[in-house]
Amino acid sequence: MKTYTDLPSDAGSNIIGQVTAQANRLQQRLTSVKHTVAVMSGKGGVGKSSLTANLAAALTLKGNTVGVVDADINGPTLAKMMGVRTATLEYTPTGVKPAITALGTKLISMDLLLAEDDAPVLWNAHSQKDAFTWRATMEVGALREFIADTEWGNLDYLLLDLPPGTDRLPNVAELIPNLGGIVVVTIPSEVSQLIVKKSVTMARDILKVPIIGVVENMAFYICQHCGEEEPLFSADETPDTAFQQTLLGSIPFDPRLAHANDNGTPYIDKYPDTPASKALVQVAKKIQDFFGEKT
Protein backbone atom coordinates (compact mmCIF):
# COMPACT_ATOMS: atom_id res chain seq x y z
CA MET A 1 0.00 0.00 0.00
CA LYS A 2 1.29 3.48 -0.83
CA THR A 3 1.46 5.98 2.00
CA TYR A 4 1.17 9.73 1.58
CA THR A 5 4.98 10.01 1.73
CA ASP A 6 5.25 7.83 -1.40
CA LEU A 7 3.01 9.99 -3.50
CA PRO A 8 5.00 12.00 -6.03
CA SER A 9 2.54 14.92 -5.86
CA ASP A 10 -0.62 15.85 -3.98
CA ALA A 11 -2.55 13.23 -6.02
CA GLY A 12 -4.74 15.91 -7.52
CA SER A 13 -6.11 17.20 -4.22
CA ASN A 14 -4.50 20.64 -4.58
CA ILE A 15 -3.71 20.49 -0.88
CA ILE A 16 -1.48 23.56 -1.02
CA GLY A 17 -4.27 25.53 -2.67
CA GLN A 18 -6.78 24.38 -0.04
CA VAL A 19 -4.52 25.26 2.88
CA THR A 20 -3.70 28.65 1.36
CA ALA A 21 -7.38 29.41 0.84
CA GLN A 22 -8.12 28.45 4.44
CA ALA A 23 -5.20 30.51 5.75
CA ASN A 24 -6.57 33.48 3.82
CA ARG A 25 -10.04 32.88 5.30
CA LEU A 26 -8.47 32.75 8.75
CA GLN A 27 -6.78 36.12 8.26
CA GLN A 28 -10.07 37.50 6.98
CA ARG A 29 -11.94 36.21 10.08
CA LEU A 30 -9.33 37.69 12.39
CA THR A 31 -9.95 41.18 11.00
CA SER A 32 -13.22 41.22 12.96
CA VAL A 33 -11.49 40.15 16.21
CA LYS A 34 -10.11 42.93 18.38
CA HIS A 35 -7.90 40.93 20.78
CA THR A 36 -6.69 37.32 20.72
CA VAL A 37 -5.44 35.72 23.93
CA ALA A 38 -3.89 32.24 24.23
CA VAL A 39 -4.11 30.50 27.62
CA MET A 40 -1.25 28.05 28.04
CA SER A 41 0.80 26.09 30.56
CA GLY A 42 3.83 23.85 30.43
CA LYS A 43 2.14 21.27 32.64
CA GLY A 44 -1.21 19.54 32.30
CA GLY A 45 -4.09 19.77 34.74
CA VAL A 46 -3.18 23.14 36.25
CA GLY A 47 -6.50 24.79 35.35
CA LYS A 48 -6.15 26.32 31.85
CA SER A 49 -9.62 25.30 30.76
CA SER A 50 -11.25 26.36 34.04
CA LEU A 51 -9.52 29.72 33.77
CA THR A 52 -10.48 30.16 30.09
CA ALA A 53 -14.14 29.33 30.80
CA ASN A 54 -14.31 31.76 33.72
CA LEU A 55 -12.35 34.55 32.02
CA ALA A 56 -14.68 34.24 29.05
CA ALA A 57 -17.67 34.49 31.40
CA ALA A 58 -16.17 37.49 33.23
CA LEU A 59 -15.39 39.34 30.00
CA THR A 60 -18.85 38.54 28.63
CA LEU A 61 -20.53 39.79 31.82
CA LYS A 62 -18.56 43.03 31.39
CA GLY A 63 -20.38 43.57 28.09
CA ASN A 64 -17.74 42.23 25.70
CA THR A 65 -18.47 39.93 22.79
CA VAL A 66 -16.32 36.88 23.46
CA GLY A 67 -15.42 33.80 21.43
CA VAL A 68 -13.52 30.78 22.71
CA VAL A 69 -11.57 28.19 20.73
CA ASP A 70 -11.05 24.91 22.53
CA ALA A 71 -7.63 24.33 20.97
CA ASP A 72 -7.20 21.09 22.88
CA ILE A 73 -8.17 18.90 19.94
CA ASN A 74 -7.41 15.56 21.63
CA GLY A 75 -8.76 16.35 25.09
CA PRO A 76 -11.53 18.92 24.61
CA THR A 77 -13.26 19.87 27.87
CA LEU A 78 -14.71 23.33 27.31
CA ALA A 79 -18.07 22.31 25.83
CA LYS A 80 -18.81 20.52 29.11
CA MET A 81 -17.36 23.24 31.34
CA MET A 82 -19.31 25.95 29.48
CA GLY A 83 -22.57 23.98 29.49
CA VAL A 84 -23.05 23.54 25.73
CA ARG A 85 -22.07 19.89 25.28
CA THR A 86 -25.48 19.00 23.80
CA ALA A 87 -25.56 21.96 21.39
CA THR A 88 -26.08 21.20 17.70
CA LEU A 89 -23.91 23.21 15.38
CA GLU A 90 -25.59 25.02 12.51
CA TYR A 91 -23.77 24.96 9.18
CA THR A 92 -24.21 27.80 6.69
CA PRO A 93 -22.61 28.33 3.26
CA THR A 94 -20.05 30.65 4.83
CA GLY A 95 -19.10 28.53 7.85
CA VAL A 96 -20.31 26.96 11.05
CA LYS A 97 -22.10 28.92 13.77
CA PRO A 98 -20.42 28.51 17.17
CA ALA A 99 -22.29 27.15 20.19
CA ILE A 100 -23.57 29.93 22.46
CA THR A 101 -23.51 29.60 26.25
CA ALA A 102 -26.24 30.76 28.64
CA LEU A 103 -24.28 34.00 29.16
CA GLY A 104 -23.80 34.55 25.42
CA THR A 105 -20.17 33.44 24.99
CA LYS A 106 -19.39 31.72 21.67
CA LEU A 107 -17.51 28.42 21.63
CA ILE A 108 -16.09 26.04 19.07
CA SER A 109 -14.65 22.71 20.19
CA MET A 110 -13.79 19.33 18.71
CA ASP A 111 -16.19 17.94 21.30
CA LEU A 112 -19.09 19.55 19.42
CA LEU A 113 -18.06 17.83 16.20
CA LEU A 114 -17.72 14.26 17.47
CA ALA A 115 -20.77 12.12 16.81
CA GLU A 116 -20.49 9.87 19.85
CA ASP A 117 -20.07 10.87 23.48
CA ASP A 118 -17.20 8.46 24.03
CA ALA A 119 -15.54 8.90 20.62
CA PRO A 120 -11.82 9.67 20.88
CA VAL A 121 -10.03 11.79 18.27
CA LEU A 122 -7.83 9.43 16.26
CA TRP A 123 -5.12 10.58 13.91
CA ASN A 124 -4.33 7.80 11.47
CA ALA A 125 -0.73 7.66 10.33
CA HIS A 126 0.69 4.96 8.13
CA SER A 127 3.58 4.10 10.39
CA GLN A 128 4.68 4.77 13.94
CA LYS A 129 7.48 6.93 12.54
CA ASP A 130 4.96 9.22 10.82
CA ALA A 131 2.48 9.35 13.67
CA PHE A 132 3.99 12.31 15.50
CA THR A 133 4.36 14.54 12.43
CA TRP A 134 0.94 13.52 11.17
CA ARG A 135 -0.75 14.31 14.48
CA ALA A 136 0.95 17.70 14.72
CA THR A 137 -0.02 18.54 11.13
CA MET A 138 -3.62 17.46 11.71
CA GLU A 139 -3.85 19.44 14.94
CA VAL A 140 -2.67 22.62 13.25
CA GLY A 141 -5.07 21.94 10.39
CA ALA A 142 -8.00 21.47 12.77
CA LEU A 143 -7.10 24.66 14.62
CA ARG A 144 -6.82 26.62 11.37
CA GLU A 145 -10.21 25.31 10.37
CA PHE A 146 -11.77 26.16 13.75
CA ILE A 147 -10.76 29.78 13.48
CA ALA A 148 -11.21 30.18 9.72
CA ASP A 149 -14.50 28.37 9.25
CA THR A 150 -16.40 29.58 12.31
CA GLU A 151 -18.80 32.45 11.92
CA TRP A 152 -17.57 34.46 14.87
CA GLY A 153 -18.98 37.81 13.82
CA ASN A 154 -17.34 40.81 15.48
CA LEU A 155 -15.51 39.84 18.67
CA ASP A 156 -13.87 41.93 21.37
CA TYR A 157 -11.92 38.89 22.60
CA LEU A 158 -11.05 35.51 21.14
CA LEU A 159 -9.63 33.21 23.82
CA LEU A 160 -7.72 30.05 22.90
CA ASP A 161 -7.45 27.26 25.45
CA LEU A 162 -4.26 25.42 24.45
CA PRO A 163 -3.40 21.82 25.29
CA PRO A 164 -0.58 21.42 27.85
CA GLY A 165 3.02 21.83 26.72
CA THR A 166 5.17 24.62 25.33
CA ASP A 167 5.37 22.98 21.90
CA ARG A 168 1.86 24.10 20.84
CA LEU A 169 2.56 27.83 21.07
CA PRO A 170 4.73 28.10 17.90
CA ASN A 171 1.85 26.66 15.85
CA VAL A 172 -0.60 29.17 17.30
CA ALA A 173 1.83 32.05 16.83
CA GLU A 174 2.21 31.01 13.20
CA LEU A 175 -1.53 30.78 12.62
CA ILE A 176 -2.24 34.08 14.37
CA PRO A 177 0.65 36.44 13.58
CA ASN A 178 -0.95 39.31 15.51
CA LEU A 179 -1.65 37.24 18.65
CA GLY A 180 -2.51 39.81 21.33
CA GLY A 181 -0.79 37.99 24.15
CA ILE A 182 -0.54 34.89 26.27
CA VAL A 183 -1.63 34.06 29.78
CA VAL A 184 0.46 31.35 31.44
CA VAL A 185 -1.20 29.21 34.11
CA THR A 186 0.73 27.51 36.88
CA ILE A 187 0.31 26.00 40.32
CA PRO A 188 2.52 26.85 43.29
CA SER A 189 5.07 24.09 43.04
CA GLU A 190 8.70 24.28 42.05
CA VAL A 191 8.32 21.94 39.07
CA SER A 192 5.40 23.86 37.68
CA GLN A 193 7.11 27.23 38.03
CA LEU A 194 10.21 25.90 36.33
CA ILE A 195 8.10 25.03 33.31
CA VAL A 196 6.48 28.49 33.43
CA LYS A 197 9.93 29.99 32.96
CA LYS A 198 10.45 27.83 29.87
CA SER A 199 7.06 28.93 28.48
CA VAL A 200 7.85 32.58 29.13
CA THR A 201 11.27 32.30 27.46
CA MET A 202 9.75 30.55 24.46
CA ALA A 203 7.00 33.15 24.07
CA ARG A 204 8.99 36.27 24.77
CA ASP A 205 12.44 35.53 23.36
CA ILE A 206 11.83 33.04 20.57
CA LEU A 207 8.35 33.76 19.26
CA LYS A 208 8.20 37.45 20.29
CA VAL A 209 4.64 37.04 21.54
CA PRO A 210 3.56 39.50 24.26
CA ILE A 211 3.10 37.97 27.72
CA ILE A 212 0.07 39.36 29.51
CA GLY A 213 1.05 37.58 32.72
CA VAL A 214 0.98 34.48 34.87
CA VAL A 215 -1.99 33.13 36.83
CA GLU A 216 -1.26 31.01 39.87
CA ASN A 217 -4.13 28.56 40.22
CA MET A 218 -5.00 26.42 43.24
CA ALA A 219 -2.76 28.82 45.14
CA PHE A 220 -4.24 28.03 48.55
CA TYR A 221 -7.23 26.47 50.22
CA ILE A 222 -9.61 28.34 52.49
CA CYS A 223 -10.59 26.19 55.48
CA GLN A 224 -14.39 25.91 55.45
CA HIS A 225 -14.45 25.78 59.27
CA CYS A 226 -12.06 28.50 60.43
CA GLY A 227 -11.67 30.60 57.24
CA GLU A 228 -7.85 30.35 57.43
CA GLU A 229 -5.83 30.17 54.21
CA GLU A 230 -3.97 26.87 53.99
CA PRO A 231 -1.32 26.13 51.33
CA LEU A 232 -2.37 23.38 48.94
CA PHE A 233 1.05 22.55 47.53
CA SER A 234 4.54 23.31 48.88
CA ALA A 235 4.15 25.70 51.79
CA ASP A 236 7.66 27.01 52.23
CA GLU A 237 8.42 28.28 48.77
CA THR A 238 8.59 31.98 47.91
CA PRO A 239 8.21 32.70 44.18
CA ASP A 240 11.05 34.81 42.75
CA THR A 241 10.61 38.52 41.99
CA ALA A 242 10.39 38.06 38.21
CA PHE A 243 7.53 35.64 38.76
CA GLN A 244 5.75 37.95 41.18
CA GLN A 245 6.02 40.89 38.77
CA THR A 246 4.16 39.02 36.06
CA LEU A 247 1.49 37.67 38.41
CA LEU A 248 -2.05 38.56 37.30
CA GLY A 249 -3.66 36.82 40.24
CA SER A 250 -3.70 33.86 42.62
CA ILE A 251 -6.83 31.74 42.45
CA PRO A 252 -7.61 29.66 45.55
CA PHE A 253 -8.75 26.07 45.35
CA ASP A 254 -12.52 25.90 45.74
CA PRO A 255 -14.35 22.57 45.38
CA ARG A 256 -17.38 24.51 44.12
CA LEU A 257 -15.32 25.61 41.10
CA ALA A 258 -14.64 21.99 40.14
CA HIS A 259 -18.31 21.21 40.71
CA ALA A 260 -19.47 24.17 38.59
CA ASN A 261 -17.11 23.04 35.81
CA ASP A 262 -18.56 19.55 35.90
CA ASN A 263 -22.08 20.98 35.69
CA GLY A 264 -21.35 23.48 32.93
CA THR A 265 -22.25 26.42 35.16
CA PRO A 266 -20.19 29.64 35.08
CA TYR A 267 -18.66 29.66 38.58
CA ILE A 268 -18.06 33.42 38.72
CA ASP A 269 -21.73 34.01 37.93
CA LYS A 270 -23.05 31.47 40.43
CA TYR A 271 -20.70 32.38 43.30
CA PRO A 272 -19.75 36.01 42.60
CA ASP A 273 -18.66 36.77 46.17
CA THR A 274 -16.14 34.00 46.76
CA PRO A 275 -12.39 34.79 46.93
CA ALA A 276 -11.81 32.66 43.80
CA SER A 277 -14.46 34.56 41.81
CA LYS A 278 -13.06 37.90 42.90
CA ALA A 279 -9.56 36.81 41.87
CA LEU A 280 -10.82 35.54 38.49
CA VAL A 281 -12.70 38.78 37.78
CA GLN A 282 -9.56 40.71 38.73
CA VAL A 283 -7.52 38.69 36.21
CA ALA A 284 -10.10 39.51 33.50
CA LYS A 285 -9.82 43.18 34.42
CA LYS A 286 -6.02 43.07 34.15
CA ILE A 287 -6.33 41.53 30.68
CA GLN A 288 -8.60 44.40 29.65
CA ASP A 289 -6.09 46.86 31.16
CA PHE A 290 -3.29 45.19 29.21
CA PHE A 291 -5.10 46.01 25.97
CA GLY A 292 -5.92 49.51 27.19
CA GLU A 293 -9.66 48.76 27.23
CA LYS A 294 -11.97 50.50 29.67
CA THR A 295 -13.27 48.25 32.46
Ligand X SMILES: Nc1ncnc2c1ncn2[C@@H]1O[C@H](COP(=O)(O)OP(=O)(O)OP(=O)(O)O)[C@@H](O)[C@H]1O
Using CB under 6 A, list all residues that contact ligand X: 41, 44-50, 72, 75, 77, 164, 217-218, 251, 253-255, 257-258, 261, 276
Rounded to the nearest 10 degrees, the angle between the axes of helix 48-61 and helix 275-290 is 70
By CB under 5 A, name the one of 49, 105, 199, 277 that touches Mg ion.
49
Strand, helix or coil for residue 61 = helix
Kind and range of the H or E run holding 60: helix 48-61
| Cα angle 269, 270, 276; round to 5 | 80
Binding span for Mg ion by CB under 5 A among 40-48, 59-67, 256-264, 266-274: 40-48
Closest C-alpha to 165, from 249, 73, 81: 73
Kindly tell me which of 157 and 253 has the beta carbon lying closer to ligand X.
253
Kindly tell me which of 147 and 283 has the beta carbon lying closer to ligand X.
283
C-beta separation of 48 from 41 below 8 A: yes
Q: Does 150 bind Mg ion (CB under 5 A)?
A: no
Binding span for Mg ion by CB under 5 A among 47-55, 97-105, 237-245, 276-284: 47-55
Minimum distance from residue 185 beta carbon to ligand X (Å): 6
Q: What is the C-alpha to C-alpha distance for residues 124 and 293, in angstroms, rounded to an integer?
A: 44
Q: What is the C-alpha to C-alpha distance for residues 186 and 56, in angstroms, rounded to an integer?
A: 19
- The partner in contact with residue 47, picked from ligand X, Mg ion, none with C-beta cut-offs of 5 to 8 angstroms by kind, is ligand X
The percent of the chain in helix, strand and coil, each rounded to the nearest 5, is: 40, 20, 40
| Beta-bridge partners for 99 | 107
Binding span for Mg ion by CB under 5 A among 45-53, 143-151, 198-206, 224-232: 45-53
Kindly tell me which of 46 and 155 has the beta carbon lying closer to Mg ion.
46
Please list every residue from 212 through 271 that binds Mg ion, using CB under 5 A. none
Minimum distance from residue 161 beta carbon to ligand X (Å): 7
- The partner in contact with residue 281, picked from ligand X, Mg ion, none with C-beta cut-offs of 5 to 8 angstroms by kind, is none
Alpha-carbon dihedral angle through residues 110, 116, 121, 123, given to the nearest 10 degrees: -120
Kindly tell me which of 30 and 196 has the beta carbon lying closer to Mg ion.
196
- The partner in contact with residue 41, picked from ligand X, Mg ion, none with C-beta cut-offs of 5 to 8 angstroms by kind, is ligand X
Per CB under 5 A, residues contacting Mg ion are 48-49
